Structure 1
Amino acid sequence: MSEPTGAARRRGPFKVGDQVQLTDPKGRHYTFTLEAGKQFHTHKGAFSHDELIGASEGSVVRTTGNVAYLALRPLLPDYVLSMPRGAAVVYPKDAGQILAFADIFAGARVVEAGVGSGALSAFLLRAVGDHGMLHSYERRQDFADIAQGNVERYFGGPHPAWTLTVGDLQDNLSDTEVDRVVLDMLAPWETLEAVSKALVPGGIMCAYVATTTQLARTVESIREIGCFAEPQPWESMVRNWHVEGLAVRPDHRMIGHTGFLVTARRLADGVEPPMRRRRPSKGAYGEDYEGPNKERGSGQA
């Protein structure tokens, strides 16, 4: 039985073509690709790639300046934060939440809109596996080219489950019986009609947006279209901790706001969503509100 795509690059001794992540004594990372006969240079000296070829992952190499570097393969979160970028990447903390709360499973049929630099595509492909499907749509050819290069570099070549189309999702979506749709784009509400036709009943739509105005417009548009259960919006923040003897405290810096996530389940055809019991707070749909449910501002809430 053949190994899943990219699995052979994740284990065993280092070999030519592998990516290596070095960690210096101060915790700084340096990533490069192993090539026979080449040298890696730092401001603290150099060492030959040949010293790592055939060595076990987790080995330590020393430069000519006698500085020790720990050598490991970069994890996918490390890779996406250091790879070439066209557009901003989906941060690993958000990619992990998308995989969990959009319930991306092995063999799933997934549509993605807004490929950016390919970070989320790599996470999704690893989750759906060789026998799933990921059909990604990207409006810009230059972003699509960068994303394709990044994804293929990570997996060691083309992934059998991946199709990349250059164009707008709402104009080009032809997939049917889709299990999940992930939208990383400026105006996800513009795609809801096409998405609702592609998703199976019970399928999940997940949108990743950057601003509160996008979040509000997305949630209200999902409610208005009427074929999804109540949307669930949230954001996550990550704070590392410093632990050194009795000095245990939060780090001074944290990964705060990167984006908002919204998920919603597709209802069966012809079913209306149950009436929400919670009444909007006073003024939620006031005169200044310009969203899709604007009529609520006239006292119909």
Structure 2
Amino acid sequence: MSVPANSAVKTYRYLRLAMIAMIGLLVTSLVIEWWNTGPSCLQTSISAYYYTPAQAIFVGILITIGACMVILKGSTEPEDILLNVAGMLAPAVALVPTPGEGTCRSVPATFGDPSANIANNMLALFIIGAPCLVLTAVFVLRSKPELKYLAGLAVAAAVFVGGIVWFFWNREGFDEGAHYTAALAMFICIIIVVIVNAQQYHRKPATASKPSTRNPYAVIAVAMVVAPLLLAAYKWIFGWDHAVLWIEGVLIFLFALFWISQTKELWNEGLREEVGPQQQPGTPDQPSPAYRSTS
């Protein structure tokens, strides 16, 4: 049985659409919980909805999106490394709850033992993650890679080993701080991914997937940097309990907007051909045949 020439592109499409659907599912679950608690009652952060009936969706979506970010190949090596790191951090954001459980929930909370949950879930993640990382290293090293690919492997290993060391060396500190650390690092990686895409899109010659000089990624990147700073400044000046909620919400919305824009751009290409800073504009865009759609 022959493999269709555009099967790789179709796989990219399905993964990308799945991520958009997952974000929509998370938002829908949060809105339902907000509706059930009343319009004036909001948790102080999206992460605090872990302690509400939206918990299963919250945890499942973050793990799913994390897996998708690792699976999807970035168009450039920096983008790929950043997506991998963000994808590795997403399960930690999901499985290590924020210490602040909040007060707005539609049903009485039964918290159980968060520390025991963290111990079980993170240990399982580390046990399964270790052979996955080793297998990845085997695949990478077997192909005699360039330095940039070794750098990506080293970054992934450093994040993974750092998490293990923190988990076993200072469990109390891990339980209290891993969520915030992972969430902040994940969002930083995502913001840099958008900046990298803005740069590459600017260098990309005009094609059917780039019909004009407008750069949607640049707009999203600026918004991702400016909006959280403005919201944080407002909180610092006036005091605002829900600043983190809005910062997270804005970043998730902008990430969804970025993902939709990139999916639209790369619908028929799968991957964007990397364009170096010295490459002359006007060079025809020629993605690898493995990723070119025949439809």
If the TM-score is normalised by the length of the shorter chain, which range does it land in?
under 0.3
Output the TM-score relative to the length of structure 2.
0.23
Output the TM-score relative to the length of structure 1.
0.23
Which protein has the bigger strand share? 1
Higher RCO (C-alpha under 8 Å, 6+ residues apart): 2
Q: Pick the structure with greater CA Rg.
A: 1
